[in-house]
Amino acid sequence: MKTDSLQWAATMQPLVRKIEELFLEDLRRFASELRQQFPALMFNVWKWPSDTVKECTDFDLGIECRFPEVVEGNPDNVALIIELCFLNSTPRIMGSVVWGHPSGHPEAEFSHSHVTNAEWPEAKPEKIEELRGFFPTLVQSFKAAVERGIPTDAA
């Protein structure tokens, strides 16, 4: 099912292709650099639809760092994520650096004025360019989180 969804997203959504063109290679290059700098950590770059419900089809891509050893109660991963939602209606976009469970703590967010994805900025060309300009901030926040190994609210 994931393969069919991925094919649908890649072939039917020019917005998905645009987001991949703008961010995916940079994420792969960044992961390669981080693997060299932090060989004890695991880095994964991904892209996939995160939901296949027709009225709310989502797509995301990102990079995740997994920490092999963590203090009990702290998350074992942090991710930089570029997300699209509502691809079949009014597409919305978000970029963030966020810690995994149990924290869920955001390190950085493209737009702070949201509570739900329905409140994210519309994925209009000017917002996509704005996110592209904010991308280095996300990268720096992700790298700082990797170096620290714990969320800022736990430091």
Q: What angle is formed at CA 132 by the lines to CA 96 and CA 66, rounded to 5 degrees?
A: 35
Question: Mean pLDDT across the stretch 80-87?
Answer: 92
What average pLDDT does the chain have?
Answer: 86
Tokens of 12: 């039917």
Q: Provide mean pLDDT across the span 114-138.
A: 91
% of the chain beyond a pLDDT of 90 = 60
Q: How confident is the model at residue 51 (pLDDT cuts 50, 70, 90)?
A: low
Predicted pLDDT of residue 49? 76
pLDDT of residue 52: 53
pLDDT greater than 80 at residue 48: yes
Secondary structure element (H or E) that encloses residue 46, with its range? strand 42-51
pTM exceeds cut of 0.95:
no
- In this prediction, residues 139-147 reach a mean pLDDT of 96
Q: Name residue, tokens 């997300």.
A: 83
83 band by pLDDT with thresholds 50, 70 and 90: very high
What are 7-35's pLDDT values in tens digits? 544 445 788 889 999 999 999 999 999 99
Q: How confident is the model at residue 153 (pLDDT cuts 50, 70, 90)?
A: confident
Position 50 scores a pLDDT of 59
Q: Which amino acid is at 55?
A: E
Is the bond preceding 14 in cis, omega lying within 30 degrees of 0? no
Instruction: Tell me the C-alpha distance between 113 and 110, whole Å.
Output: 9
